[in-house]
Structure 1
Amino acid sequence: MSEKIKTRFLELDALRGIAAFSVVLFHYTTHYSNLFKHSQDLYFDFGSGRHGVELFFIISGFVILMSLENTKRGLDFIVGRLSRLYPVYWAAIIMTFLVVAFSKQLPTREVNIFQALFNLTMLQDFLNIPQVDGVYWTLSIELSFYILMFTVYKLGQLKNISLISLVWLSLTTFYAFKTYIARWSLLTKLTSHINFFNHDDTPQLMLVNLVGKIPELGINIQYIFAKIFIFNYAHLFILGITLYLIKRSGLSFWRCIILLVCVLVQRIAYTQESSWNTTIFVAAFVVIFYLAIQGYLGFIKLKPLLFLGNISYSLYLIHQNIGYVIIKTLYSYKINPNISILVAIVCSLTLAILISKFIEYPAMNFIKNKYKKLILPKFLTGNG
């Protein structure tokens, strides 16, 4: 295995901040308009902001492989991931649930207390339980990826990650072609059950014979297999993995081919964003990412972008439904939509800063310190 590379890239922090803020702008402009309609025309729209999610997944592919290659013990990785993911997530669930429940501004987005409690596990998407906030759908994808990569690590197969990625991409490509063909052949048969023009429903419902949304069609084992191996988004994580391998070991013909195939799979992938527009964005992300990790984008290491990167997880979790409540409330007082959106952005950033400062990082440090002082010594002794 080649020499390990440094474990911190400020350029990636900046890209993470850009991705998070882009998603915020998308939700407050385009997505809000699709869901509720703005009270007046906006000065600007930011539909392209939705592509921040693809960038998040690519970054995760890079960072998780890098993290595992620098992990001495599997338990270190588990504690590190859980301490980062869950405390701030729980705080976001509590805040969002209370704001939505008491504001009565988003009746279609309310969940009951039992659904909210199950959301605390981060497993709700696997059981089709409603999300406290719609943005949480990406967390189940991330969690699945962590589990898959950790399994590779525990089996001692990180040294074969190139081959594993190739096999994974081959299965993903096959699945993408199969579902792409299937959804068009089923189109005329299923229109009575599906609103294909509903952006939110299409990815979940289009292949109902696979996902079992129409009970009489049953549940195909293929769906379960696809869920475990996250075939809908695997190509994005594989992009990140391959970019890490390029950074660590250099460009090669086959790595370039894998990058190209991953980008092309985006065009037919069974996701919300299967289009040439998104494919072009993903291709651009690959180029930008490569330039960033090679040190050619040092100019993006601006303090505001790095700051956004540091609070990006909190901002992502807290912004959507709470922001919608703020916007709808201000609209009820006839406040200009552009001002309302600005207020929602300021409030979301403020909340994210407070959560990061008083919950996310303190909780992460507390858990890691307790682990090192109380659990790790016993673990080492027990295995000594």
Structure 2
Amino acid sequence: MEFITGNYMLKDIQALRFFAILFVVFLHLPIILPNNHTYNELRNFTNTDSGVELFFVIAGYFLSLTLDKSSNHINSTPDKIVYLIKIYIKKIKRLSPPVYFWIAIPMLFSLITKNSELWLPYNLMMEKFFASFVWLRNFEEIGTEGNFGYMWALSLEMQFFIIYPLVYLTFGRKKTIITSVVICVFMMFYRPGGGPAWMFRFDPLLYGTLLYYIVSSIDLTKLSLQEINLSPLKKSAIGLMMIISLAVVPQALIHLWTFRFSAAAMISTVCVFLAVMNTGFFTSFPSILNKIVSYIGGRSFSLFCCHIPVWFIIFQLTHGHNISDSSRIVLQILSMFIATELTYQILEKPFIKKK
């Protein structure tokens, strides 16, 4: 769920990143809000796990954009190899600093505090650290799940970013598109692996790549809904309706376990399509709200990496102290945003390619 590739940036895409990370953080709130009645009631008709699909569709879209714009002049095998290596190095440099830092923190706390109930046994935490370090966390998580399993998504994305460009440059655009369509249709009805298959749902990334090919083949200036006289209120209502659908529809399809992931990917694809038309469906809120949405959306990767470790750090630091649950929760939320900003400024921003 890396959140930007290259210089192509749209405000609506940043807004979608805001909603995606909001979904992910909401999904993880039981860590700090155990047995909360209001939260449980909301979860009865929503499933914000679909925020991952939204992140993946965005990532797939920008990967296709990069490949399509940069690889047309590459013909010889040596040039393809060099190009692939450059893509991999750029991706690793972009993701690694925040990821490696925030997988090291739980490992260090596990080693120092020996609080196995909070941080897991140090040998298991070490196993998770190295699995994350080599981008195989989704494979490791199948056998030993833990509170820090959220890193599976970044491992899956890295695996996709390694395999997809290789397939694209080897077999060409047409065969890659056909194969992607076949895989997406197949995964509507069957997902290999049974129960753990939810950690291998790479089809939303394929939906994102296919969306780019569709968008690049049409004239957005003619299709653009800017020609339709929609007020900011109506645009916001449509945008929020799509976001709400992304939370509600997969939950309504809970008994169609395989297809609900595809449904989330489809809704996410529509959201990204509306966003790349740059018509303001996700940025027509009042100015102050747009600034908040853009600010958090721009830091969504850092927030994703740090939110759970920070919550556990506060658990560790407040253990044994006379502090109320409400005060601890406030401290965890504040610390999460402070850590997000520091992570963004120190570990993420320096590695974002400037235009």
Q: State the TM bucket, normalised to the shorter chain.
A: 0.5 to 0.7
Please give the alpha-carbon distance, in whole angstroms, between the structure 2 residues aligned to 1:119 and 1:57. Answer: 18
Cα distance change of structure 1 residues 331 and 359 upon mapping to structure 2, 3 Å threshold? same
Cα distance change of structure 1 residues 329 and 358 upon mapping to structure 2, 3 Å threshold? closer
Q: Find out whether 1:54 has 2:58 as its counterpart.
A: no
Cα distance change of structure 1 residues 304 and 83 upon mapping to structure 2, 3 Å threshold? same
| Residue in 1 that maps onto 2:102 | 92
Equivalent position to 2:344, from 334, 356, 361: 356
| Residue in 2 that maps onto 1:345 | 333
Cα distance change of structure 1 residues 327 and 69 upon mapping to structure 2, 3 Å threshold? same
Q: Find out whether 1:119 has 2:132 as its counterpart.
A: yes
SS in 2 for 1:86: helix
Which structure 2 residues correspond to residues 96-245 of structure 1 after superposition, within 5 A? 96-102=106-112, 104=115, 106-107=117-118, 109-112=120-123, 114-115=126-127, 116-127=129-140, 133-155=148-170, 157-173=172-188, 175-176=190-191, 203-204=195-196, 232-245=200-213
Q: CA deviation at 1:9?
A: 2.3
SS in 2 for 1:295: coil
Please give the alpha-carbon distance, in whole angstroms, between the structure 2 residues aligned to 1:121 and 1:163. Answer: 30
Q: Deviations over 1:213-240 (max 9, x none)?
A: xxxxxxxxxxxxxx8xx99413322221
5+ residue gaps, structure 1, are 1-5, 184-202, 205-226, 252-262, 369-384
Cα distance change of structure 1 residues 43 and 57 upon mapping to structure 2, 3 Å threshold? same
Please give the alpha-carbon distance, in whole angstroms, between the structure 2 residues aligned to 1:360 and 1:286. Answer: 26
Tell whether the 8 Å contact from 1:65 to 1:149 is kept in structure 2 after alignment: no
Q: CA deviation at 1:308?
A: 1.6
Q: CA deviation at 1:100?
A: 4.6
| Residue in 1 that maps onto 2:278 | 295
The alignment's TM-score, normalised by the length of structure 1, stands at 0.63
- Code of the residue aligned with 1:109 in structure 2: it is L
Tell whether the 8 Å contact from 1:100 to 1:110 is kept in structure 2 after alignment: yes
- Code of the residue aligned with 1:53 in structure 2: it is V
Q: CA deviation at 1:159?
A: 4.4
| Residue in 2 that maps onto 1:190 | none
| Residue in 1 that maps onto 2:293 | 305
Tell whether the 8 Å contact from 2:11 to 2:278 is kept in structure 1 after alignment: no
Please give the alpha-carbon distance, in whole angstroms, between the structure 1 residues aligned to 2:352 and 2:217. Answer: 32
The alignment's TM-score, normalised by the length of structure 2, stands at 0.68
Q: CA deviation at 1:58?
A: 1.5
- Bigger shift: 276-285 or 115-124? 276-285
- Code of the residue aligned with 1:343 in structure 2: it is L
SS in 1 for 2:70: coil
Q: Deviations over 1:252-311 (max 9, x none)?
A: xxxxxxxxxxx9xx97xxx99937876665554333222212223355282322222222
RMSD of Structure 2 on Structure 1 (CA): 3.8
Please give the alpha-carbon distance, in whole angstroms, between the structure 1 residues aligned to 2:187 and 2:164. Answer: 16
Please give the alpha-carbon distance, in whole angstroms, between the structure 2 residues aligned to 1:148 and 1:283. Answer: 22
Tell whether the 8 Å contact from 1:327 to 1:337 is kept in structure 2 after alignment: no
SS in 2 for 1:157: helix
Tell whether the 8 Å contact from 1:10 to 1:306 is kept in structure 2 after alignment: yes
Q: Deviations over 1:318-358 (max 9, x none)?
A: 11143144257658646444443332122112112111211
Please give the alpha-carbon distance, in whole angstroms, between the structure 1 residues aligned to 2:263 and 2:169. Answer: 36
Q: CA deviation at 1:102?
A: 4.1
- Code of the residue aligned with 1:148 in structure 2: it is I
Please give the alpha-carbon distance, in whole angstroms, between the structure 2 residues aligned to 1:272 and 1:315. Answer: 31
Q: Deviations over 1:128-167 (max 9, x none)?
A: 5757821111122112211221112331513443212123
Q: CA deviation at 1:124?
A: 4.0
Cα distance change of structure 1 residues 303 and 244 upon mapping to structure 2, 3 Å threshold? same
Which structure 2 residues correspond to residues 317-328 of structure 1 after superposition, within 5 A? 317-327=305-315
Cα distance change of structure 1 residues 174 and 24 upon mapping to structure 2, 3 Å threshold? closer
Please give the alpha-carbon distance, in whole angstroms, between the structure 2 residues aligned to 1:98 and 1:118. Answer: 16
5+ residue gaps, structure 2, are 1-6, 72-82, 220-245, 285-289
| Residue in 2 that maps onto 1:23 | 24
